[in-house]
Amino acid sequence: MWTTIVTKFLTLLMPLVMLFNTGAVMQPSLSAADGVQITYDFDNDKAYSAAGTVTLKAEKDGEYDLYWGDGAGEVLAEKIGDYTVRFSEFATVSVDDGTGEKEIQEFTVIPDGAEKVMAFKNKRLVGQADLPDEKSGNEGEPSYLYGALSDVHFHRYYGHIGDDAKLTLPNSLNFLDLAGVSLVALSGDLTNSGEESSLALFNEYTSKYDFPVYTCMGNHDTRGDSVENGAWEKYINPGVYTDTLPQGVSDVSGRDFVYTPDGKDVFIFLSQYQWSYNSEDSEILTPDQLDWFERELEKYKDRTVYLFFHTFLPNMETGDQRTGEGNALSDKGACYDLVYTPGTADEIRFSELLKEYKNVIFFNGHSHYTFDMQEMNPVMNITDYDGETCTMVHIPSVSSPRKMEADSAGSSERYMRESQGYLVKVYDDRIVLQGVEFLRGLFLSYACYVIER
């Protein structure tokens, strides 16, 4: 039902375009005995918004995977360069005693070209339903596209091929290049401990592309050569720290700067000051940085601002460090524990600014948590806390996403098993985020979102 993506080997250590998708192909067979009834109650009438509740009625209990389908009854796919990239399931519904339902995350998008909901059980098509006309259509051409990545971590994760980031970073950049992005933005952690060799590798790989690759500094980058020997300014964000600024770059202050690729939308790259967590004396943004940041937010308050800063915040409603965007809490109390310390002066001021300036879309990384952990915390990947804050978006690691189950006492590293980030499509009236699994060349429908402009 879809064309799988062929592996492209350049040389043994050169980047892959995509790795082969080994999942079984779904057979489009439908038997009356297995047929299911699909009911989709949408929360709103906004085009492309998937928010709502899907209900299945079936004669057989069990797990049913829901996919978006196109007008021809094929599982939805999108052309990326010469390749066909399919969309994964957008939900899994557990049917018990003949009925099951699933609430769809409020930001979830119905992708361009989707006209049907298709239900599969054990890889077999067992039911489908047409989407309402107002919920399907053609988005048209975006104004521009960009990639959003995080947590590369050269010299940290080693598998059978050596430093895994030497594969995962260029593999993701190849995918985004084929998609036609004009920028790749990162939320930091390029290194293990700020070593110059990691920054040199990042520069080596990213300089091969026609689009700029800009990033802020994460906690792992605040150590060693990166700050002590000026290696950050030498290798990262080429031209930004010189007298002759690249086109679109402005308002450089230390390692922080602004980039306006189209003269309209604004990217702010805000770097951490130091590795400092879990203490009442913690400080990862200085007062001078926050003064600069506030001036920039006020200057661009009438534009869409994409903020890239490494560390996510505690839950903005409850103050709980464990249950906010970017984090999750297992039944056994496990979570990501290097969080922005609540109640410190910089956390309070930073939080208040993100509540005031709701034109901001705040991209962060840090925990590495995989997109599918949204099942444990509905606001983990994206939220605006019911309109009380700007929109906050967590990016998993491109090199080593972490996975934690609901009954886990801890998380596991997923290096060379998963590599995740976003392809972002910018339209006049909305921004569409398409979660990508780069090693399989797959769009993750449950991590595809829409933000209204």
Report the candidate in 433, 443, 342 with the shortest Cα–Cα distance to residue 395. 433
Residue-level pLDDT at 263: 85
Q: Could you tell me if 401 and 45 are in contact, meaning their C-beta atoms sit under 8 angstroms apart?
A: no
Residues of the chain with CATH 3.60.21.10: 144-418
Report the candidate in 189, 236, 171 with the shortest Cα–Cα distance to residue 397. 189
In angstroms, the CA 392 to CA 449 distance is: 12
Q: What is the pTM of this model?
A: 0.93
Q: How far is CA 444 from the centre of its chain?
A: 10
Q: How far is CA 79 from the centre of its chain?
A: 20
Report the candidate in 283, 292, 267 with the shortest Cα–Cα distance to residue 360. 267
Residue-level pLDDT at 138: 64
Tokens standing for residue 150 = 């995080």
R_g over Cα of the chain: 22
Residues of the chain with CATH 2.60.40: 36-135
CB count in 10 Å sphere of residue 132: 11
Report the candidate in 360, 303, 381 with the shortest Cα–Cα distance to residue 109. 381
Q: Could you tell me if 37 and 126 are in contact, meaning their C-beta atoms sit under 8 angstroms apart?
A: no
- Kindly give the confidence (pLDDT) of every residue in the chain, 453 residues in length, as a single tens digit, with 9 standing for 90 and above: 332 222 222 222 333 444 434 333 333 333 334 579 999 999 999 989 999 999 999 999 999 999 999 999 999 999 999 999 999 999 999 999 999 999 999 999 999 999 999 999 999 999 999 999 888 766 689 999 999 999 999 999 887 678 999 999 999 999 999 999 999 999 999 999 999 999 999 999 999 999 999 999 999 999 999 999 999 999 999 999 999 999 999 999 999 999 999 889 999 999 999 999 999 999 999 999 999 999 999 999 999 999 999 999 999 999 999 999 999 999 999 999 998 999 999 999 999 999 999 999 999 999 999 999 999 999 999 999 999 999 999 999 999 999 999 999 989 888 788 999 999 999 999 999 999 999 999 999 999 999 999
* Residue 215, amino acid: T
- CATH assignment of 36-135, given 1.10.3470, 1.10.10, 3.40.50, 2.60.40? 2.60.40
DSSP letter at 262 equals S
| Residues 6+ positions from 387 with CB-CB distance below 8 Å | 358
Q: Could you tell me if 221 and 202 are in contact, meaning their C-beta atoms sit under 8 angstroms apart?
A: no
Residue-level pLDDT at 426: 96
Query: Which fold would CATH assign to domain 144-418?
Result: Purple Acid Phosphatase; chain A, domain 2 (3.60.21)
* Residue 431, amino acid: I
Residue-level pLDDT at 7: 28
The SS3 assignment for 191 reads coil
Q: Which residues of 168-180 are buried (b: 16+ CB within 10 A; e: fewer)?
A: bbbbbbbbbbbbe
